[in-house]
Amino acid sequence: MDFSTDAQASVIAILPEILMVVLAVLVLALDLIWRRAQRDGIGYVAGFGLLGIAAIVFLVGIPPQSGELSDQLVLGGMVRHDDMAQIFRVMVLLAGGIGALITMGIPRLRARGDFYAILIVSIIGASLASAAADLIMVFLALETLSITLYVLAGYLRDDDASAEAGLKYFLFGAFASAMTLYGLSLVYGLTGKTNIYELGRLVATNGLNEPPVIIALGLVMVGFAFKISAVPFHFWTPDVYEGAPTSITAVLSTASKAASMGLLLRFLLVVFPPAELIGAAETVADYSGLWVQLAVVLSVVSMTLGNVLALVQTNIKRLLAYSTIAHAGYVLMGVAAISTDKSGDGAAAVAFYMFMYVLSNMLAFAVVILFTRATGSEQIRDLAGFSRRSPWLGLAMTLALLSLAGIPPAAGFVGKFLLFRAAVDAGLVWLALVGVANVIVGLYYYLIIVKVMYMEDSPSDEPVPVELPFKWALTISAAGVLLFGTILVTPLLNWATDAAHALYVLL
């Protein structure tokens, strides 16, 4: 297979990562150079730096327009620079940027340059994951993302909950990484290739011994299921979410999920392609039926268990953790649809959904940080009277929750609609019905939070203070949630559809 050797294209392909490395170094340098008082503003550099890079990716980092695989695979086939990579990159950069901004509201982290630098490195991993086209790059990206997040989750060392979260995440994560690595090495051993596009064709056409391929698929799925916290690999999620610093919980639930989801889409479709996509005349080994079934099972149990367990939560961070699990289930519905549906609706729905989910969750966690700081509590019941104290924050939280619940005019409605449409289109009507039932359960617990905020009285009527970085974070994410649900649906969906079409170019 030919790889592009165009130097300019190669640089543009990894421009966001190059810029992020520069940004990370800059943040570390500023941490040393700046005086203590100035260092309070270091989050602006990291936050707006990442948001700026997102804008650059969006405006400058346009992938080669020929759409040919050989033009888009650069750097010796390590990275594929296509629309799929771009849309997920913008997502994780937005998540990272907003995550850095809302970190500025946590007093113990506000002035820590090293914290922001590690955060940026973890976004580098997330950003590479969605573009990775080589087993080595897949693993490197995942590990860059994970290891930095272990550190960040346990960053508040003197806080028992945070330390526990870091350790727990690390232990579970190391186990899952090992599984993934076994899987990847099996695939490599069977085919002798590391580029996923090359080895995908070999898996399909080379008449490989079936059991090892199935084992490899299973092992890789376990690793991914852990990253996206699909049931039954979700056990770490609530504890880590609860213990980690809230801004890291936010990044964990958005950037890490989005990156893994993007990688999952590409990996499954490319390494274990449906027979028609290969188009070879000889007998083709089609493993797509298997991973579709796995995705369906994971989807059903994740959304059901996630939603049901969320019903009984009293801690807002734990509730959002279970809601994340449920959302992983919804998205897996779209993943299950990508194999039979060649029009790209499934993959486009996943990309659209993750985009809106990133913004909605960021919005929710930004409000959670403000709320926990003002009340010193993470209990849902202490949200009482929140809308009286700060009507705009109450409205922002409501918007985020409605978006997660899938109620218009928030973007979540369109996202859910597209996922159900993809599922019905792929012939999975019953899966769509399970999803629909789950949406109703979900609405119940989201509405309970809204009810507490709006209905009950608070002991204090003082407005919750909102600093400038929060205003930025809240405005960006709320505007996104609202606009991508109404007048900007089309541009985002078109982009997601382009991305989906690129995904299906395997030859």
Partner 1 sequence: MVITFSGVLTGILLTPVIGAVIILLLKKEAKEQARIIAAMSTGIALLLALFVFFGYSVDDANAVNGDGGTYFAFEDHVKWIESVGISWHLGVDGISAPMVLLTALAGFTGVLISWGIEDRTREFLAFFLLLVAGVFGVFLAVDLFVLFFFYELAIFPMYFLIVIWGWAQTRQYAAMKLTLYILVGSVVALVGILALYFKAGEATGVYSFDFVDLHAATKAGIFDTPFSSAWSAATTAKLWFPLVFLGFGVLAGVWPFHNWSPDGHVAAPTAVSMIHAGVLMKLGAFAALRVGVQLMPEGARIHLPWIVFLALINVVYGALIAMRQRDFKYVIGFSSVSHMGLVSMGFATMNLKGMTGAGLQMFSHGIMTALFFACVGMVYDRAHTRDIPSLGGFVQKMPWVAVAFIIGGLVSMGMPGLSGFVAEFPIFLGLWDGPAFEPDPNWLTGTFNYYGLIAVIAALGIIVTAAYVLRVVGQVFFGEFHAERFPYVSAITVYDKVALIILVFWLVLLGVYPRLMAPMIESGVRPIVSMLGG
* Residue closer to partner 1 (CB basis): 15 or 447: 447
For residue 409, whether the previous peptide bond is cis, meaning omega lies within 30 degrees of 0, is: yes
Q: Which is nearer to partner 1, 108 or 451 (CB)?
A: 451
* Closest to 371 (Cα-Cα) out of 110, 102, 119, 159: 102
At its nearest, how many Å lie between partner 1 and the CB of residue 451? 5
* 74 strand-pairing partners: 79
CB of 182 to partner 1, least distance (A): 40
Question: 235 or 430, CB closer to partner 1?
Answer: 430
The DSSP result for 258-277, as a single string, is: HHHHHHHHHHHHHHS--HHH
Listed residue (267, 248, 228) closest to 122, CA to CA: 248
Minimum distance from residue 472 beta carbon to partner 1 (Å)? 20
Residue closer to partner 1 by CB (options 65, 490) is 490
- Which of the 8 DSSP states describes residue 410? S
Look at residues 482, 347, 365 and name the one whose alpha carbon lies nearest to residue 413: 482
Element (H, E) at 357: helix 345-375
Cβ closest to partner 1, residue 353 vs residue 413: 413
Interhelix angle 429-455/288-311, rounded to 10 degrees, is 30
How far is residue 80's CA from residue 73's CA, in Å, rounded to a whole number?
4
Least CB distance from residue 245 to partner 1, whole Å?
32
Provide, rounded to whole angstroms, the least separation between the CB of residue 307 and partner 1: 13
Other C-beta atoms lying within 10 Å of the C-beta of residue 358: 26
The least CB distance from residue 300 to partner 1, in Å, is 16
* Residue (245 or 412) nearer to partner 1, CB: 412
The residues, ordered by sequence, that sit 6+ positions from 460 with a Cβ below 8 Å of its Cβ are 385, 389
- C-alpha to C-alpha distance for 320 and 379, rounded to whole angstroms: 12
Q: Please say which residue, 92 or 493, places its beta carbon nearer to partner 1.
A: 493
Least distance from C-beta 444 to partner 1, angstroms? 7
What's the start-to-end Cα distance of the chain, in Å?
A: 9
Nearer to partner 1, 154 or 344 (CB): 344
Write out the residues near partner 1 by the rule CB under 8 A: 387-388, 391, 395, 402, 407-409, 413-414, 417-418, 420-421, 424-425, 429, 432-433, 436, 439-440, 443-444, 447, 450-451, 454-455, 489-490, 493-494, 497
Identify the CA nearest to 109 among candidates 324, 320, 373: 373
As a whole number of angstroms, the distance between CA 459 and CA 278 comes to: 64
As measured in angstroms, the least distance from the Cβ of 389 to partner 1 is 12
